[in-house]
Amino acid sequence: MEAPILPSVATAEVQPSSVAELMATHLAEKFPAASRAELAARFADEHIVTLPGFCPPPLLAAVRDEAVGIMARHGTYHDLTFEITDNTPRRMRTVGQPVIRDEGPLVHNFYFAPVLLDFVADVVGEPVHTCPYAGEHYVISRLDANGDTHGWHWDDYTYGIILVLEAPHYTEGGFVQAVPNTRWDKGNPDVYGALLSSQVRSYALEPGDAYVVKTNTTMHRVHPIRGEGRRTIVNMTLASTADLDRPMTHETNDALFGGVRDPRIGS
């Protein structure tokens, strides 16, 4: 486990060193054992579960300020399609892990808080681990223009937990859609086949909510933004024990978020 990053000043009155304790206290109160059992049952059925009020308000405000500032300084807009996911679109603004590692101590300490791993393990029903590939520890993305979307895709590692910092009303898009029990064949991806083979479920979220997804077998997307909506999230990747011994590639992450390459350093 990485050591906490401790800057010299507080961020919005929340010290990075206090993130783990704030989360542990909040999650114990917000999601007691009975609630976690219900979440686990729902996750077993749908392979995605929403977590209303996952982040306590003082920490949410601080993380949002931190992430918005990082996005303002370093956000890069992408308008791409990926053949590896059947030419689905990515229209979004992103910041990758190396920048956040240096300039986002709250996000960093949130990801490495032991309580996060314990909570997700309770929900998914097996141990989870921080991602062995640093480029997928955590990334920030924003959709803020008409038509912006994180199109249909799967992920390499088994689990993701996404913290919502800003979200439009569902009438402006930006809600999550998921198709469980599907398979990502990188050599012959078939998004339409996956849509036909299983039910599409949709989930609206608010700032401070989070959701856990079984990302390697659940095709998912963020519905395109309509109008002037804005959605900003921190996406955090977690590995199953089986993932630790599987060879992985990171094509879409590296294209969208830069992987472990630091964009502040010239090529």
Average pLDDT over residues 209-238: 97
Would you say residue 11 has pLDDT above 80? Answer: no
Would you say residue 168 has pLDDT above 90? Answer: yes
b/e per residue 33-46 (b: at least 16 CB within 10 A): eeeeeebbeebeeb
Mean pLDDT of the chain: 94
Would you say residue 148 has pLDDT above 50? Answer: yes
Structure tokens at 159: 């689990």
Would you say residue 3 has pLDDT above 80? Answer: no
Would you say residue 10 has pLDDT above 80? Answer: no
| pLDDT level of residue 266 (50, 70, 90 thresholds) | low
Average pLDDT over residues 229-244: 98
| Cα 249 from Cα 208, distance rounded (Å) | 31
| pLDDT level of residue 6 (50, 70, 90 thresholds) | very low
Would you say residue 198 has pLDDT above 50? Answer: yes
- One-letter identity of residue 178: A
Would you say residue 54 has pLDDT above 80? Answer: yes
Average pLDDT over residues 125-130: 98
The predicted-structure confidence for 88-123, as pLDDT tens digits, reads as follows 999 999 999 999 999 999 999 999 999 999 999 999
Closest by Cα among 108, 80, 112 to 94: 80
For the chain, percent of residues with pLDDT exceeding 70: 95
What pTM does this model have? Answer: 0.94
What pLDDT is stored for residue 265 in this prediction? Answer: 87
